[in-house]
Amino acid sequence: MIHNRDRLARTAAHEVALECIEAGIEAARPARAMRAALERSGSELRIEDTTLDLDAYDEIAVLGGGKAAAGMARVVEESLGDRLDEGVVVTNDPAETERIRVVEGSHPTPDEAGMEGAREELALAERASEDTLVLCVLSGGGSALLPAPVEGVGLGELQSLTEALLASGATIEEINAVRKHLSALKGGRLATTAAPATVVGLLVSDVVENDLGTIASGPIVPDESTHGDALTVLERYAIDPAPAIRTHLDSGAAGEQPETPDGEHPAFGRTQVHVLADGFTALEAARSTADDRGYTPVILSSRVEGEAREAAKTHAAIAEEARATGNPADSPVVFLSGGETTVTMRGDGRGGPNQEFVLSGTLTIDSDGIVLASVDTDGSDGASDAAGAIADRVTLDTGERAREALADNDAYSYLAGRGAVIETGPTGTNVNDLRVLVVDDSAR
């Protein structure tokens, strides 16, 4: 899956780092994670440690949305065969299906097709009875792919607002707090619409710490945020929405619109959610690979956030300590972490957080025998075609030009010039970043 792997595998330590990355991405692919999690046996459908008796339902339907939704829907079809009655999912990455209609929508700005698909989903949910089983496949991108504006708000108004929010610097939680209060589907409303059906969510998470209300804006989980919170976000980022949007939020804040359903709503008593793949899935696969290769694997954290070049310094300090004193683990060791770091742009170069992580980390390290690799598991790191990078001290040469490149946010140009970027193309999954630090005294 790493196109230029042969050229990158300069030492045994590089080889292990690349194998860990490939194993991590592979394990986090939605279809693979779905196949690993679903087990059908007669009328029983096992999902992780839960068992559903399919015979208890008159009708079984699939709903959902997200970049990986079509691939996920197809695995449900394979598993359920003719027990599946119907379904609709919206995605920007279609796949062939038989019984489930796949609607191609747009991301990150929602479009008409996505809105039609979302309406179909709500209509199907509306028809569901207590004898219906609704399997809901959700993945990253679902918020944009499933636009269902509340009455009085038009798609164009929602599009403009989405673009303003994405450009504002607001966090994904803040953006979704606004989206939930302008949607007939998000913030738990798909679940309350489907009530009294049984709703089972199958999720692939691109959200650090897997906040279920954030993945696809949480259509089937309770929501504690309010219209007032949505207004606060708009104020905080000085966003002036279309009048229809302001009218709706104002009337909601005045108690004239129902808030999103909270945990007390009876619909959630018949809803269960399974996260089938997330950053930890990738870390566990990488851990197992490192272990197989004779390295002590150490998962530091699945939830590292912050400025990439600074997170790199702490990671590098841990790797150097291992080499120097055997703390926190003896060489040969592979340190792993996930999460999502960010880049504060100061220069005008090309790069991304994973490449800056590798460049900064390698500049921090002044010993041989340590290889750093980091990728965005979706195959695209920031504003570059590369998935990430792999480097050690040898890659940097004197370090002077590397320092300049980092100062100019130009990690891509520098690392590509030194043959150190990792190329995968789109991987079909997204469980954020995967970082691998190999400490191996024998690999100098």
Sign of CA dihedral 70, 74, 79, 84: positive
> With binding defined as CB under 8 A, does residue 318 bind a second copy?
yes
Q: Quick one: which of 91, 132, 192, 364 contacts a second copy (CB under 8 A)?
A: 364
Nearer residue to a second copy within complex by CB, 74 or 315? 315
> With binding defined as CB under 8 A, does residue 337 bind a second copy?
yes
Question: Residue 183 carries which DSSP code?
Answer: B
Q: Quick one: which of 142, 261, 339, 428 contacts a second copy (CB under 8 A)?
A: 339
Which neighbouring-strand residues pair with 39? 46
* Residues of this chain, 263-282, that bind a second copy according to CB under 8 A: 280
Give the contacts of 254 (CB within 8 A, at least 6 positions apart): none
> With binding defined as CB under 8 A, does residue 302 bind a second copy?
yes
Nearer residue to a second copy within complex by CB, 101 or 303? 303
Nearer residue to a second copy within complex by CB, 83 or 303? 303
Burial track 59-73 (b if 16+ CB lie within 10 A, e otherwise): bbbbbbbbbbbbbbb
> With binding defined as CB under 8 A, does residue 347 bind a second copy?
no
> With binding defined as CB under 8 A, does residue 296 bind a second copy?
no
For the record, the structure tokens of 356 come out as 């800056």
User: CA 136, CA 100: separation in Å to the nearest integer?
Assistant: 12
Q: Quick one: which of 104, 321, 385, 441 contacts a second copy (CB under 8 A)?
A: 321
Nearer residue to a second copy within complex by CB, 357 or 414? 357
Q: Is 138 helix (H, G, I), strand (E, B) or coil?
A: strand
For the record, the structure tokens of 183 come out as 């949607």
CB of 313 to a second copy, least distance (A): 4
User: CA 7, CA 343: separation in Å to the nearest integer?
Assistant: 28
> What DSSP string describes 98-126?
SSEEEEE--SSS--HHHHHHHHHHHHHHH
Q: Checking DSSP bridges between strand 271-277 and strand 132-138, what pairing results, if any? A: unpaired
> With binding defined as CB under 8 A, does residue 303 bind a second copy?
yes
> With binding defined as CB under 8 A, does residue 328 bind a second copy?
yes
CB of 432 to a second copy, least distance (A): 12
Q: Which residues bind a second copy (CB under 8 A)?
A: 280, 298-307, 310-311, 313-315, 317-318, 320-321, 325, 327-328, 337, 339, 364
